[in-house]
Amino acid sequence: MSRNAPADDTLVRIRGLKFYRGTRAIFNGVDIDIPRGSVTAIMGPSGTGKTTLLKLIGGQLAPDAGTIEVDGQSVHALSKPDLYRLRMRMGMLFQTGALLTDLSVFENVAYPLREHTRLNDSMIRKLVLIKLEAVGLRGAHGLMPNELSGGMARRVALARAIALDPMMIMYDEPFTGQDPISMGVLVQLIRRLNDAARITSVVVSHDVAEASEIADLIYVISDGRVIESGSPQALREKGGEWTRQFMGGLPDGPVPFHFPAPELEGDLFGDPA
Amino acid sequence: MEWLAQLGRSGLSFSAGLGRANLLMLAMLRGVPQLLRRPRLLVEQLLSVGVLTVLIIAVSGTFVGMVLALQGYYILSRFGAEATLGVMVAASLVRELGPVVTALLFAGRAGSALSAEIGLMKATEQLSGLEMMAVNPEHRVLTPRLIAGIISMPLLAGMFSVLGVYGGWFVGVGLLGVDEGTYWAQMQSQIDWDADVLNGVIKSVVFGVVCTWIAIFQGYDCIPTSEGVSRATTRTVVHSSLAVLGLDFVLTALMFN
């Protein structure tokens, strides 16, 4: 599809996605639609390939089969310059923040502006301070990344991700390892940025409560396929047994508490051999 | 048959690694035009790769020259040929010790630092972050380091040789009583610009390419964990040292028949 194709309500369209690591199928025929302007959460247990999915959407990995379209462009059919042009309209918040450790907070946020625009220093300064103000860290612009807490580093990375005013932001496990206050700040920031700047947000997470709080739509993936999708409330109320166990954090269910083992009595009182 | 299969696996793995290293080199070379438009990136790396290596090179060069003079005087004086001490010191340094020892020290100081830095950038997703910001990490991060290494090595080797000659002068002339005029005059008449100096420069440029290439590749290709970075750093020093010593033999055989 051309870049000027008419915009529809789906910003990211994934069809028949297959991706293997060696012989292990990470995705085995996944279809996902991410609506424009929404917060869409991709949820599932650890190791189901949620981060891999973001890398596939961003073109850092190539699928073995299937297509991924972002804003009407087939990501993996693009030339490198076109892919880089598309990435300039996509932001990504990495789990670690991925800040450049030899640059200050200010220079990290200024980095994409210096690389991709010809704005003068005065304009860059104003833009950087506005972006840092949006994440509540204008006062920390002179700090180095090693002087930041984990939550602050993610907020700086978020300011950097929105520096070029992207159409979408992908969040890779934004809530992992955060204290309740940092987590609350991030939850609020993701929703607020999404609504204020009309960004499309894709949040990959296994933190059910936080992701459900801000998501308009949830996709639950496991064993290489989409198990269920819908609004948080619908999934909690009408989801299948597996989804309700996952959403409710229940210790036993389709995913058993016990690792498969022989009968307890036999193991305790039977022949040890 | 298991050993044969293992040999085959190792061979395939080595070939695949060599292929990836070559592709990386091509990718870095494609970033040179961009680097010419932004020389500040090169200057920053010349500081970190070259200038910060000066101290160890300067100290080593001086002491190697001093030891050469001591050993040389001991042998030459037996034949009454101590007047040729300057030639011996200068030829040893310019032809062999300057490029080779500098390259070994460069691999230990700058090469290991390059691998660790790039490996950690990979492990902390900084390189992925650059890609997602539509910045090519090969051009933006790796190319300036490669070119800085290639420029720095001959300059460092030159510094090593010059300070070694002065170290030899200090011991030979200052402590052992060799005539100063003879020390310099013999050197001036016997050391040939093309055969000695230029060949030494060519060697150091080749070593610069090889050491920096290995260091960058090991960092970029490492497993992004602390153990992976540690192994990459070790491999950089070992592979660079072996490559320098092997190439030195080949180049010496070609240059000096």
Q: What is the model's pTM?
A: 0.85
Give B160's contacts (C-beta < 8 A, 6+ positions apart): B57, B58, B60, B61, B64, B93, B97, B98, B101, B102
* Mean pLDDT, chain A, whole residue set: 86
* Mean pLDDT, chain B, whole residue set: 93
Q: Which one of A58, A95, A116 has the shortest CB-CB distance to B132?
A: A58
Determine the average pLDDT of the residues in B36-58. Answer: 93
Q: Which residues of B touch A (CB under 8 A)?
A: 124-126, 128-129, 131-136, 140
Query: Shortest Cα distance from A220 to chain B (angstroms)?
Result: 25
Determine the pLDDT at residue A197: 81
pLDDT above 90 as % of chain B: 89
Q: What is the CA radius of gyration of chain B?
A: 21
Determine the average pLDDT of the residues in A227-235. Answer: 85
pLDDT above 70 as % of chain A: 95
| pLDDT bracket for residue A4 (50, 70, 90) | very low
A99 interface with B at CB cutoff 8 Å:
yes
**A-B Cβ pairs (cutoff 8 Å, strict):** 49
Determine the average pLDDT of the residues in B201-210. Answer: 95
| Binary contact (B126, A98; C-beta < 8 A) | yes
Which one has a higher pLDDT value, A99 or A207?
Answer: A99
Determine the pLDDT at residue A6: 43
SS3 A24: strand
| pLDDT bracket for residue B20 (50, 70, 90) | very high
Q: Chain B residue closest to A99 (CA)?
A: B126
At residue A148, does pLDDT exceed 60?
A: yes
pLDDT above 90 as % of chain A: 45
Determine the pLDDT at residue B74: 92
DSSP secondary structure string for all residues of A155-185:
HHHHHHHTTT--SEEEEESTTTT--HHHHHH
- What is the complex's ipTM, to 2 decimals? 0.82
Determine the pLDDT at residue A1: 38
Query: Shortest Cα distance from A248 to chain B (angstroms)?
Result: 32
| Binary contact (A100, B129; C-beta < 8 A) | yes
**Residue A102: how many other CB atoms lie within 10 Å:** 14
Contact A208, A246 (CB under 8 A): yes
Query: pLDDT digit string (tens) for B73-100?
Result: 999 999 988 889 999 999 999 999 999 9
Determine the pLDDT at residue A273: 58
Q: Give Cα B6 to chain centroid, integer Å.
A: 33
